Homo-oligomer: A and B are copies of this chain.
Amino acid sequence: MGVRIVGTGLSVPETIQTAEELSPLVRRSPEWIASRTGVLERRIASEPSFVYGARAARQALGDGGPPDLVINASLTPYQLIPDTSVFLMRELGFEGIPSFSVHATCLSFLVSLAHSVAPLIQTGAYRRILVVSAEISSISRDFEHPESAVLLGDGAGAAVFEPAETGGLIGFSMRTIPSGAELAELPGSGTRFPPEDPETPAGSTKFRMNGPRIYRMATGHLRAVVDEVLGPLGLTPEDVDVCVPHQASGPAIAAMRAANVAKGNIIDLIPQYGNCIAAGIPMALHEAIASGRAKRGDKVLFVGTGAGLHTAAALWEL
């Protein structure tokens, strides 16, 4: 039993924030922002993440009717309880369809693909699965840490999966490396620094990452997971038709290229949208398919590193 992507969607807020507009907030020049990160502009949300998620979902669902399972593969919570899949369901007008949320930082979409979508369709448990990643990271920007702050943007991506004769997940490997937990974190909003605890330090809900250290720590693992996916199939990164990396930053994608984990036809939305956390991969997948760069039968390599550190690679036949 194969699995086919029958639709994809992308939705971003209308509001664009340029490097010029961001420049005074982070006290760096527009040139510094663009050259350090590759991000020329990013979108800033004015509505909850599930609103953009639902728009991307409707585009992905097209005329095909409702799904039989909804997965919210995002880290952005609307509330702590219920999980955000419920609000996405409500926004879509769905009642009674099973839904849940997966959080594996930037790799939430990829993790859902390998740990729920593919095996659930292969075993016949579901026949039309909607996965949505919708993130609002702009409110977590710490303007005192320009290196991280200028990367982030808001957006949503979605995909719908159905059984098919061929295609689907043909290889997956993942490594979680907790010794890198501090290299990218938002320490607040949980029991470590409870939001209403007077002892919680100011700024606990701001995101900070050390991109260069992440890539030093993660590169070996990234190469390993890519080798673990491609090696058994007798393939190398050059044999991949399209690479959909996590949209971390311009330098991160360049580093993956340099480390030979991503080659050739790489989808890069960083200049337009920046780092939209878990939404980056399905947004780039949508772009790959909608632009015609990825076609039925193509081998797509998903690859990336997320806070955790999580590192993973998946080979998918469209």
User: In the complex, are the beta carbons of A86 and B190 less than 8 A apart?
Assistant: no
User: In the complex, are the beta carbons of A192 and B48 less than 8 A apart?
Assistant: yes
Within A105-147, the residues touching B (CB, 8 Å) are: 105, 107-108, 111, 114-116, 118-120, 122-123, 125, 136, 139-140
Within A262-318, the residues touching B (CB, 8 Å) are: 306-310, 312
Q: Per-residue 0/1 for A31-48: is the Cβ within 8 Å of any B Cβ (1 yes, 0 no)?
A: 000000000000000001
Within A60-87, the residues touching B (CB, 8 Å) are: 69-70, 75-87
Number of copies: 2
Tell me the complex Cα distance, A82–B24, Å.
Answer: 29
- Cβ of A120: which chain B residues have Cβ within 8 Å of it? 115, 119
User: In the complex, are the beta carbons of B75 and A81 less than 8 A apart?
Assistant: yes
CB of A249 within 8 A of chain B? no
CB of A13 within 8 A of chain B? no
CB of A219 within 8 A of chain B? no
- Cβ of A96: which chain B residues have Cβ within 8 Å of it? 175-177, 221
Q: Per-residue 0/1 for A179-211: is the Cβ within 8 Å of any B Cβ (1 yes, 0 no)?
A: 101001111111111111000001111010000
Chain B residue at minimum C-beta to C-beta distance from A84: B190
CB of A56 within 8 A of chain B? no
CB of A94 within 8 A of chain B? yes
Tell me the complex Cα distance, A85–B89, Å.
Answer: 25
- Cβ of A139: which chain B residues have Cβ within 8 Å of it? 191, 194
- Cβ of A102: which chain B residues have Cβ within 8 Å of it? 100-103
User: In the complex, are the beta carbons of A190 and B90 less than 8 A apart?
Assistant: no
Q: Per-residue 0/1 for A227-254: is the Cβ within 8 Å of any B Cβ (1 yes, 0 no)?
A: 0000000000000000000000000000
User: In the complex, are the beta carbons of A100 and B115 less than 8 A apart?
Assistant: yes
Tell me the complex Cα distance, A101–B111, Å.
Answer: 10
Task: Known contacts A85-B104, A308-B83; decide if A195 and B186 are in contact (CB<8 Å).
Answer: no
CB of A95 within 8 A of chain B? yes
- Cβ of A104: which chain B residues have Cβ within 8 Å of it? 83, 85, 99-101
- Cβ of A90: which chain B residues have Cβ within 8 Å of it? 178-179, 181
Distance (whole angstroms) from the CB of A188 to the closest CB of chain B: 6
Q: Using CB atoms and an 8 Å cutoff, list the residues of chain A in contact with chain B.
A: 48-49, 69-70, 75-87, 89-90, 94-105, 107-108, 111, 114-116, 118-120, 122-123, 125, 136, 139-140, 172, 174-179, 181, 184-196, 202-205, 207, 221, 306-310, 312
